[in-house]
Amino acid sequence: DIQMTQSPSSLSASVGDSVTITCRASQSISNSLNWYQQKPGKAPKLLIYAASTLQDGVPSRFTGSRSGTDFTLTINSLQPEDFAVYYCQQSYNSPDTFGQGTRLDIK
Amino acid sequence: EVQLVESGGGLVKPGGSLRLSCSASGFSFSTAWMSWVRQAPGKGLEWVGRIKKKSDGEITDYAAAVRGRFTISRDDSKNTLYLQMNSLQIEDTAVYYCTWYYYDRLNPWGQGTLVTVSS
């Protein structure tokens, strides 16, 4: 199975800050990497697919990028509603696998 | 509007069985690949499995942790996805989400149904 190593596991930031979350795949997954946001008690929500394509309705302050097997999610100008848990997911090979998650808290 | 509504969760003893259902609306269910994802209390997301559409042979794939115990099926006439869970273990306790496996991404998700395995 493809392993997805997500870092950091948690981080604290303030409204207006920019943050970056990274996922590293254990092998090449092309661009088959998606990012999700999950708020407490809610189902995950798709933010970015195919490494860098913004899902409809997601604010442009969210961006995704790829460098080889490293993928990053950047959130610019953090808003109060962005404090949540973020997961990456590879869909290149079955079984799909998720990163461990990154909890983004308000500093 | 696409909607996915899970049902069937509850309390079950170790070794027991449970069948979850996911009622779909707002899209062409019969042409959709569908997935189940679970989340143990306080933990991250874990992909459970996937079923392809009928024209793709309704092929199923499973995570190693559930392979041989869980079965995903679908009834396109009822726009319903199922997850049959047998030989349940305590570590299967989780919220189970149904989701549309749309072009290699999971979107949208249902609200989830809680399965608790406990004696």
Comparing CB atoms, the residue among B62, B64, B104 nearest residue A91 is B104
* C-alpha to C-alpha distance for A72 and A88, rounded to whole angstroms: 9
Asked whether the beta carbons of B22 and B6 are under 8 A apart, the reply is: yes
Burial B1-14 (b: 16+ CB within 10 A, else e): eeebebeebeebee
Q: Do A43 and B112 touch (CB under 8 A)?
A: yes
pLDDT attached to residue B94: 98
Q: Which residue has the tokens 């079965």?
A: B71
CA of B14 vs chain A CAs: smallest distance (Å) = 25
Contacts of A99 in chain B (CB under 8 A): 44
CA of B77 vs chain A CAs: smallest distance (Å) = 26
Q: How confident is the model at residue A34 (pLDDT cuts 50, 70, 90)?
A: very high
Put simply, whether B46 touches A (Cβ < 8 Å) is yes
pLDDT attached to residue A103: 98
Sheet strands side by side (includes A4-7): A4-7, A19-25, A70-75, A62-67
Contacts of A49 in chain B (CB under 8 A): 103-105, 107
* C-alpha to C-alpha distance for A31 and A76, rounded to whole angstroms: 22
Q: How confident is the model at residue B85 (pLDDT cuts 50, 70, 90)?
A: very high
Q: What is the mean pLDDT of residues B36-45?
A: 98
Contacts of B35 in chain A (CB under 8 A): 96
pLDDT attached to residue A6: 98
Asked whether the beta carbons of A20 and A102 are under 8 A apart, the reply is: no
DSSP B57: T
Task: Return the amino acid letter for B49.
Answer: G
